[in-house]
């Protein structure tokens, strides 16, 4: 079930909960930022002392004192700022890692159907950019934003203490300062999105035009591609100008600061001429207003980051709140599988109130035998396997292993005794050995090699320069389909499961590779209960029992010869393949 | 220098945008210089000497400085952007044109990603070189001497302090930037590693669950997340180095007061001058830092420019362009006469290949993989020139005909047809906009594509490709067939057009192909022999040589290789089906 969206307030509160364990660092950081504010307050006054007392009144004896004070405050400010920033980052990044761990745990609880509805990249984004947005918010919004708000109030109060008229002016200016970024923020988001889209489009187009060059040339479409490139560039330019204008507006805020400068001098001019106000005071005021200007920016940034984080966290929490598959039944005893007999009894499966994908499916896979499931696409073969593995939960009937109902023991227990080879096994970045042992601590290198030998994988692995240490994956070695399958078989049999499931394990291989994998599979099957799904009937002809599925139900079961004689669908499936091959000469 | 001259050539079309951008930059520099001076005027002339008349003009100037700054930040930016991007339109077009002209094999050998990078990131980096240059010459090289001159004018000791601070500024600009960049690089790497592991894990979620490896997967992710956390904390520490310039400023501030306070009291230096000097000192780091970053931008851009120009200069071995665009292919007779071909410094791929495709007939080329079948189509399409021998279309040697003229007369369907990001219509037309919509629909109908196209939500306007609707392999091929026959070419090349399809969609595509090749000369390359049995002639290629030519039955009788190919598919019942 997809979870529904959360309100902003709830999201912000839930995010805060992740910070709570790190409250000590958080409080330390806030105290440090408040001390930074405190250290900043006397600085304009010290400037005033320099101008009025030292320079104007000639009190050179004060000079070392004032300069020393400035030096100490500068060092203090730097040190405290560094400390607070460090603590904020630390607490935020830690909290986000806890969040990531939650996400990860949840990821594996989600039913497989979730991954059919959501693209891989989309799910990964939750861990990367969404989580990063939250981390930034922890730092900028929950941390520095709070500190800036305090700072803003303090500065206004300090100004007011010196001169209430300026205090009012300062309080009035703050909204103006906030207003422009506030109005700008939507544009800012839109501008950066537009820029990203434009450059993304340009990147995609460039790759496309280069990789598609054969087709473009074959169709004399060179001019057309140039035209498309130019159009894309025009959009990049427009997006750039838009973004520049929006950013320019933030710079335009500088104008306000200079107008304030002029204003302060204009207001104080008469007093200075009269001698009631000193120049140093005017300069100190200028200093305080400049400070005011500086403290508004982080506050707006804090708001923007919080907005981003709320969006990202909303997605994250919706992901976490999506209900997962049933966990292991609590308090259940170990599943022991001495023989490995699997039985489906009247199993019915339906997805999300749709029609039944499986209905009344009953069959028995006898211990040590090979049972094949055949049938046209959509007959429910893979669903049956998924039900056995606990990826889906049957609404009706039961599946037992050596007489024990698997819903009582939960999927984790079942999977411990069932080895699976899928049509498209996922290999992970890491060594071949790691891909076979799959991180199972009890499978040492001797067992890995033994499994590889049974799976006919050792032959090609031994030929690689680093053998079992060869790194696979994105930046590593790419394997052929047949080799990947053989590693998957080794992986499946390495823990020596009683039951082996081969789900279209050779369907995507060519004839040559298939032969090798078939040999590996028969070696892997020996002494195990095996359930085979295959599209190609040649693979299943030798099975001890064949179960013919059609539209979710069992149509017939038996051995090849009997089925060929009496089951129309089975004969059709066989003949279709025969005909296509007999069609050649 | 050579590089600089070529870059100059690209910016010329946007010269006046540059002029405005330069004007704006200069204006900005002047404002930076004037601002502190206004402070001096207020303190010393207005208040110090009681020159009331000067108050209003100075205040107005102060306000005006702000307004001009704001205008500059917005308007100046437009022209900068236009100037930089405008120059790159020319460069990018040149890159694309070159990529389209160079031999096909070179495009692949050069890794398409690299060429795409020339079009995108390299060009962007180069675009910045112009701005960096403007900034260096008209802002930094202008401001820095001005600041120093003013300092010396006020008092030589001020000048001395300013000059002695320069190396520190420069050092910070270089070191600091480098350190921060490498720390944030480490964060980027950590993010990359994390998302690589995650992509693995999310992609393999089924396998992980099936083998109960959730904990293992969680630990791998946690390890990378931990690395990211460490990198982030490291970056935050390194970023705190940004405080160093701040401390430096306060150090200088203290120094000038310590040194000059006495002179102010003596009246040798005006108070406002000292205050203004504080402001100048505050700004002094900017031109130094900017100059360093401008120079490094220019350096990076020079590297990119060298790469791009290097690419543009790779001898495209320009395909012999035709003397005259003679009309060919009216009848559609294709003849190979002793054609041999070898890729640059490689083994010969085709040796002395001769055969003929009569108008309206279909000729199939079969043979084991690596026999040279696809090379053969590349030669007809004039992607490459034969090393020796001739290919004639209607009697004319195509080596003397412009490639675009040849291609105009040939429709081609590849095994892995490329769809482009855009509508279905755009994908069928590929820029041939002069062809009527009726004809396009007709082509799609012949290609068995019309029905599925009209079933999509937006019909021919449906967005397909990378960001659009995903089509199945069979649908892609049918769009490709419509594309191939759109301009009603007399000749058709089908290069393994159905090899990567499943049985079901293959039937639909075969059906479309049969109709599409009706009345056209077609050269069919196929791995699966079932598809070529009915060809008018079959050419058997092995290791680049024609070993036999004939019809299916005769070849099955007399050609061992052909029979072996047939038998392999026959005896391997399952291969014919996938």
3-state secondary structure string across A77-133: HHHHHHHHHHHHHHHHHHHHHHHHHHHHHHHHHCCHHHHHHCCHHHHHHHHHHHHHH
Q: Which residues of chain A are within 8 Å of residue B97 when distances are taken between CB atoms?
A: 222, 226
Mean local confidence (pLDDT), A486-497: 81
**A213, closest residue in chain B (CA to CA):** B100
A124 to B119: CB separation less than 8 angstroms, yes or no: no
CB atoms within 10 A of CB A76: 15
Q: At residue B389, what are phi and psi to the nearest 5 degrees?
A: 90, 180
B98 CB within 8 Å of a chain A CB: no
The closest alpha carbon to B203, from A292, A124, A3, belongs to A124
DSSP β-ladder status, B521-525 and A404-405 = unpaired
What is d(CA B172, CA B169) in angstroms, rounded to the nearest whole number?
Answer: 5
| pLDDT value of residue B70 | 79
The shares of helix, strand and coil residues in chain A, as percent rounded to the nearest 5, are 70, 10, 20
DSSP B252: H
**A255, closest residue in chain B (CA to CA):** B66
Triad A579, A582, A583: Cα angle to 5°: 80
First to last CA, chain B: 59
Element (H, E) at B495: strand B491-495
Mean local confidence (pLDDT), B473-482: 86
| pLDDT value of residue B568 | 66
Helix (H, G, I), strand (E, B) or coil at B325: coil
Mean local confidence (pLDDT), A443-448: 77
Q: Which residues of chain B are within 8 Å of residue A507 when distances are taken between CB atoms?
A: 578
Triad B373, B378, B384: Cα angle to 5°: 125
Helix (H, G, I), strand (E, B) or coil at A252: helix
Question: What ipTM score was computed for the predicted complex, to two decimals?
Answer: 0.77
Tokens of A214: 């054969």
The shares of helix, strand and coil residues in chain B, as percent rounded to the nearest 5, are 65, 10, 20
| pLDDT value of residue B317 | 56
Which of the residue ranges A492-506, B225-239, B266-280, B378-392 would you say has the lowest mean pLDDT?
Answer: A492-506
B89 to A120: CB separation less than 8 angstroms, yes or no: no
What is d(CA A221, CA A227) in angstroms, rounded to the nearest whole number?
Answer: 10
| pLDDT at B97 > cutoff 80 | yes
| pLDDT value of residue A259 | 82
| pLDDT value of residue A449 | 80
Place of tokens 């404002």: B31
Q: What is the pLDDT of residues A266-309, one digit of tens each?
A: 888 888 888 888 888 888 888 888 888 877 777 877 877 777 77
| pLDDT value of residue B571 | 34
What separation in angstroms does the CA of B87 have from each of A318, B18, B94, B139, B312? 46, 10, 11, 21, 16
- The sign of the torsion formed by the CA atoms of B139, B142, B146, B147 equals positive
Element (H, E) at A183: helix A164-211
Q: At what angle do helices B77-101 and B123-135 cross, to 10 degrees?
A: 140
- Option in A78, A233, A439 nearest B247 (CB): A78
Triad A163, A164, A169: Cα angle to 5°: 100
What is d(CA A308, CA A134) in angstroms, rounded to the nearest whole number?
Answer: 8
Q: Which residues of chain A are within 8 Å of residue B233 when distances are taken between CB atoms?
A: 86, 89-90, 93
Q: Which residues of chain B are within 8 Å of residue A195 when distances are taken between CB atoms?
A: none
| pLDDT at B570 > cutoff 60 | no
The closest alpha carbon to B539, from B530, B552, B557, belongs to B552
Mean local confidence (pLDDT), B359-369: 84
Q: What residues contact B4, with CB distance under 8 A and at least 6 apart? A: none
B82 to A237: CB separation less than 8 angstroms, yes or no: yes
| pLDDT at A1 > cutoff 50 | no
Contact A557, A545 (CB under 8 A): yes
Q: Which residues of chain B are within 8 Å of residue A255 when distances are taken between CB atoms?
A: 66-67, 69-70
| pLDDT value of residue A69 | 92
Q: Which residues of chain A are within 8 Å of residue B201 when distances are taken between CB atoms?
A: 104, 107, 428
To the question of pTM greater than 0.80 for the whole model, the response is no
What separation in angstroms does the CA of B541 have from each of A168, B182, B538? 92, 56, 10
Portion of chain B with pLDDT greater than 90, in percent: 1
- Option in B46, B70, B265 nearest A55 (CB): B265
Q: At residue A420, what are phi and psi to the nearest 5 degrees?
A: -125, 140
> Residue A350: beta bridge partners?
A356
| pLDDT value of residue B289 | 84
Mean local confidence (pLDDT), A510-528: 71
| pLDDT value of residue A72 | 92
Q: What is the pLDDT of residues A251-270, one digit of tens each?
A: 777 677 778 888 888 888 88
B74 to A233: CB separation less than 8 angstroms, yes or no: no
| pLDDT value of residue A508 | 62
Among B17, B112, B126, B207, which would you mutate to test the A interface (most chain A Cβ atoms within 10 Å of its Cβ)?
B207
**B71, closest residue in chain A (CA to CA):** A252
Q: What is the pLDDT of residues A64-110, one digit of tens each?
A: 898 899 999 989 988 998 888 888 888 888 888 888 888 887 877 77
Contact A97, B222 (CB under 8 A): yes
Q: Which residues of chain A are within 8 Å of residue B93 when distances are taken between CB atoms?
A: 226, 229-230
Which of the residue ranges A148-152, A311-315, B541-545 would you say has the lowest mean pLDDT?
Answer: A311-315
Among B52, B85, B113, B210, which would you mutate to test the A interface (most chain A Cβ atoms within 10 Å of its Cβ)?
B210
| pLDDT value of residue B111 | 67
**What is the least distance, in Å, from the CA of B566 to any CA of chain A?**
7
DSSP one-letter string for B55-70 = HHHHHHHHHHHHHHHH
Scanning B397-472, the segments in alpha helix (DSSP H) are 403-408, 424-429, 437-446, 450-455
What is d(CA B249, CA B284) in angstroms, rounded to the nearest whole number?
Answer: 9
| pLDDT value of residue B576 | 36
Contact A258, B73 (CB under 8 A): no
Give me chain A's average pLDDT, please.
Answer: 78
Q: Which residues of chain A are within 8 Å of residue B75 when distances are taken between CB atoms?
A: 248
**B554, closest residue in chain A (CA to CA):** A585
pLDDT band at A525 (very low <50, low <70, confident <90, very high): confident
Among A43, A55, A316, which would you mutate to test the B interface (most chain B Cβ atoms within 10 Å of its Cβ)?
A55
Among B198, B272, B409, which would you mutate to test the A interface (most chain A Cβ atoms within 10 Å of its Cβ)?
B198
Among B501, B573, B575, which would you mutate to test the A interface (most chain A Cβ atoms within 10 Å of its Cβ)?
B573
| pLDDT value of residue A345 | 82
Mean local confidence (pLDDT), B192-203: 78
- Residue A491: HSE in the Cβ half-sphere, 13 Å Cα cutoff: 29
Phi-psi region of A3 (alpha: psi -120 to 50; beta: other; left: phi over 0): beta
What is d(CA A263, CA A269) in angstroms, rounded to the nearest whole number?
Answer: 10
B202 to A115: CB separation less than 8 angstroms, yes or no: yes
| pLDDT at B561 > cutoff 80 | yes
Task: Catalogue the E-assigned strands of A167-322.
Answer: none
Tokens of A48: 């005033």
What is d(CA B202, CA B280) in angstroms, rounded to the nearest whole number?
Answer: 56
> Residue B353: beta bridge partners?
B339
* H and E: helices and strands count for chain B: 22, 12
Contact B276, B37 (CB under 8 A): yes
B197 to A272: CB separation less than 8 angstroms, yes or no: no
Q: Which residues of chain B are within 8 Å of residue A393 when distances are taken between CB atoms?
A: none
Q: What is the pLDDT of residues A119-128, one digit of tens each?
A: 777 777 777 7
| pLDDT value of residue B78 | 82
- Option in A110, A207, A265 nearest B42 (CB): A265
The closest alpha carbon to A101, from B14, B433, B221, belongs to B221
What separation in angstroms does the CA of A489 have from each of A304, A418, A580, B467? 51, 12, 30, 36
| pLDDT value of residue B149 | 92
Q: Give me the residues of B, 442-481, that contact A with CB < 8 A.
A: 465-467
A583 to B530: CB separation less than 8 angstroms, yes or no: yes
A529 vs B465, more confident: A529
Place of tokens 């500068």: A74
Q: What is the pLDDT of residues B230-279, one digit of tens each?
A: 888 888 888 887 788 788 888 888 888 888 888 888 888 888 888 888 88
The closest alpha carbon to B425, from B486, B511, B470, belongs to B486
Q: What is the pLDDT of residues B9-56, one digit of tens each?
A: 888 888 888 888 888 888 888 888 888 888 888 888 888 888 888 888
Helix (H, G, I), strand (E, B) or coil at A401: strand
Own/partner contacts of B48-52, CB < 8 Å, gap of 24 or more, are: B48/B270, B48/B271, B48/B272, B50/A273, B52/A273
Q: What residues contact B3, with CB distance under 8 A and at least 6 apart? A: B302, B305, B306, B309
| pLDDT value of residue A538 | 65
Q: What is the number of residues in chain A?
A: 585
The closest alpha carbon to B553, from B576, B571, B532, B568, belongs to B532
B268 CB within 8 Å of a chain A CB: no
Question: Alpha-carbon dihedral of residues A530, A531, A535, A538, nearest 10 degrees?
Answer: 40
Scanning B314-390, the segments in alpha helix (DSSP H) are 373-380
Helix (H, G, I), strand (E, B) or coil at A348: strand
Among B72, B96, B105, which would you mutate to test the A interface (most chain A Cβ atoms within 10 Å of its Cβ)?
B96
- Option in A56, A244, A514 nearest B77 (CB): A244
Q: Give me the residues of B, 359-378, that contact A with CB < 8 A.
A: none
Q: What is the pLDDT of residues A4-56, one digit of tens each?
A: 566 778 888 888 888 888 888 888 888 888 898 888 888 888 888 888 888 88
B222 to A104: CB separation less than 8 angstroms, yes or no: yes
């Amino acid at each position: 079930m997809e979870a529904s969206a959360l309100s902003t307030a709830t999201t912000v509160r839930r995010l805060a909960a992740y910070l709570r364990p790190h409250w000590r660092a958080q409080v330390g950081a806030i105290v440090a930022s408040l001390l930074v504010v405190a250290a900043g307050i006397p600085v304009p006054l010290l400037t005033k002392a320099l101008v009025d007392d030292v320079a104007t009144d000639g009190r050179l004896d004060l000079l070392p004192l004032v300069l020393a004070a400035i030096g100490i405050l500068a060092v203090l400010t730097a040190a405290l700022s560094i400390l607070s920033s460090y603590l904020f980052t630390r607490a935020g990044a830690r909290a986000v890692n806890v969040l990531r761990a939650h996400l990860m745990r949840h990821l594996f609880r989600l039913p497989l159907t979730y991954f059919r509805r959501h693209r891989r990249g989309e799910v990964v984004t939750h861990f990367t950019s969404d989580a990063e947005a939250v981390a930034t918010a922890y730092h900028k919004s929950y941390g520095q934003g709070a500190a800036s708000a305090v700072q803003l109030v303090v500065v206004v109060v300090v100004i007011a203490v010196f001169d209430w008229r300026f205090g009012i002016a300062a309080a009035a200016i703050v909204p103006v300062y906030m207003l422009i970024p506030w109005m700008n923020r939507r544009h800012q988001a839109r501008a950066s999105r537009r820029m990203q889209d434009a450059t993304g489009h340009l990147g995609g187009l460039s790759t496309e035009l280069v990789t598609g060059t054969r087709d473009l040339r074959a169709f004399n479409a060179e001019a057309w591609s140039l035209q498309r490139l130019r159009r894309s560039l025009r959009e990049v330019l427009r997006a750039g100008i838009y973004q520049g204008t929006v950013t320019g507006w933030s710079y335009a805020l500088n104008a306000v600061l200079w107008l304030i400068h002029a204003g302060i001098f204009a207001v104080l001019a008469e007093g200075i001429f009269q001698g009631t106000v000193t120049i140093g005071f005017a300069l100190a005021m200028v200093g305080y207003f400049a400070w005011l200007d500086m403290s508004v920016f982080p506050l707006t940034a804090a708001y923007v980051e919080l907005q981003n984080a709320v969006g990202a966290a909303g997605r994250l929490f919706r992901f976490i709140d999506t209900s997962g598959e049933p966990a292991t039944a609590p308090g259940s005893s170990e599943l022991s599988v001495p023989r490995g007999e699997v039985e489906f009894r009247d199993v019915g499966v339906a997805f999300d109130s749709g029609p039944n994908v499986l209905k009344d499916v009953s069959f028995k896979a006898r211990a040590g035998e090979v049972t094949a499931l055949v049938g046209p696409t959509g007959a429910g073969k893979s669903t049956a396997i998924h039900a056995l593995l606990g990826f889906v939960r049957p609404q009706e009937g039961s599946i037992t292993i050596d007489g024990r109902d698997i819903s009582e023991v939960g999927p984790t227990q079942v999977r411990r005794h069932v080895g699976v080879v899928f049509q498209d096994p996922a290999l992970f970045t890491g060594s071949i050995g790691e891909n076979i042992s799959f991180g199972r601590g009890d499978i040492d290198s001797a067992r890995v090699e033994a499994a590889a030998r049974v799976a006919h994988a050792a032959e090609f692995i031994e030929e690689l320069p680093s053998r079992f240490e060869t790194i696979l994956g994105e930046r590593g070695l790419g394997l052929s389909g047949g080799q990947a399958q053989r590693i998957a078989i080794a992986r499946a049999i390495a823990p020596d499961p009683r039951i082996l499931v081969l789900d279209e394990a050779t369907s995507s291989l060519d004839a040559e590779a298939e032969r090798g994998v078939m040999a590996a599979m028969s070696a892997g099957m020996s002494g195990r209960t095996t359930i085979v799904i295959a599209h190609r009937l040649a693979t299943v002809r030798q099975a001890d029992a064949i179960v013919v599925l059609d539209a979710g139900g069992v149509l017939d079961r038996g051995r090849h010869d009997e089925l060929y004689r009496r089951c129309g669908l089975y004969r059709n499936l066989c003949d279709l393949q025969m005909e296509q091959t007999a069609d050649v000469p | 220098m050579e590089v600089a001259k070529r870059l100059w050539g690209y910016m010329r079309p946007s010269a006046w945008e540059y002029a405005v951008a330069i004007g704006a930059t200069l204006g900005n520099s002047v404002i930076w210089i004037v601002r502190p001076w206004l402070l001096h005027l207020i303190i010393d002339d207005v208040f110090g000497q009681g020159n009331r008349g000067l108050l209003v003009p100075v205040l107005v100037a102060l306000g005006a400085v702000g307004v001009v700054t704001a205008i500059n930040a917005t308007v100046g930016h437009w022209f900068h952007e236009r100037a930089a991007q405008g120059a790159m339109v020319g460069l990018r077009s040149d890159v694309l044109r070159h990529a389209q002209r160079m031999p096909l094999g070179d495009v692949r050998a050069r890794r398409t990603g690299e060429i795409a990078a020339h079009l995108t990131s390299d060009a962007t980096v180069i675009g910045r070189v112009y701005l960096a240059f403007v900034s260096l010459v008209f802002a930094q090289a202008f401001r820095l001497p001005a600041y120093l001159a003013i300092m010396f004018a006020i008092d030589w000791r001020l000048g001395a302090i300013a000059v002695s601070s320069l190396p520190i500024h420069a050092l910070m600009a270089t070191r600091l930037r480098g350190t921060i960049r490498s720390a944030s690089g480490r964060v980027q790497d950590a993010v990359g590693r994390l998302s690589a592991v995650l992509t693995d894990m999310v992609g393999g979620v089924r396998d992980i669950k099936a083998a109960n490896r959730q904990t293992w997967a969680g630990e791998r992710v946690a390890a990378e997340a931990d690395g990211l956390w460490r990198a982030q904390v490291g970056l935050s520490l390194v970023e705190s180095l940004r405080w160093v310039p701040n401390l430096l400023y306060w150090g200088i501030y203290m120094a000038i007061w310590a040194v000059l306070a006495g002179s102010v009291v003596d009246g040798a230096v005006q108070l406002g001058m000292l205050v203004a000097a504080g402001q100048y000192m505050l700004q002094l780091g900017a031109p130094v830092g900017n100059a360093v970053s401008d120079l490094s931008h220019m350096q990076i851009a020079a590297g990119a420019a060298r790469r791009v120009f290097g690419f543009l200069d790779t001898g495209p071995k320009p395909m012999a362009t035709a003397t005259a665009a003679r009309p060919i292919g009216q009848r559609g007779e294709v003849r190979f006469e002793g054609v041999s071909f070898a890729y640059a410094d490689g083994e010969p791929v085709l040796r002395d290949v001769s055969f003929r495709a009569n108008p309206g007939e279909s000729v199939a080329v079969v043979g084991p993989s690596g026999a040279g079948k696809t090379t053969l189509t590349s030669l007809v399409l004039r992607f490459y020139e034969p090393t020796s021998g001739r290919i004639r279309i209607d009697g004319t040697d195509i080596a003397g005909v412009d490639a675009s003229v040849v291609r105009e007369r040939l429709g081609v369907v590849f095994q892995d047809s490329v769809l482009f990001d855009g509508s279905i219509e755009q994908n069928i037309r590929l820029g041939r906009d002069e062809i009527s919509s009726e004809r396009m629909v007709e082509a799609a109908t012949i290609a068995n594509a019309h029905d599925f196209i009209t079933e999509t939500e937006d019909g021919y306007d449906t967005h397909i490709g990378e960001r659009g609707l995903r089509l199945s392999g069979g649908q892609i091929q049918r769009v490709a067939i419509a594309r191939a026959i759109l301009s009603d070419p007399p000749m058709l090349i089908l290069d393994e057009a159905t090899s990567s399809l499943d049985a079901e969609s293959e039937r639909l595509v075969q059906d479309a192909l049969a109709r599409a090749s009706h009345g056209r000369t077609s050269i069919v390359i196929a791995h699966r022999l079932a598809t070529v049995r009915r060809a008018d002639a079959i050419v058997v290629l092995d290791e680049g040589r024609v070993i036999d030519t004939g019809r299916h039955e005769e070849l099955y009788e007399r050609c061992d290789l052909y029979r072996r190919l047939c038998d392999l598919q026959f005896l391997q019942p399952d291969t014919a089906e996938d």
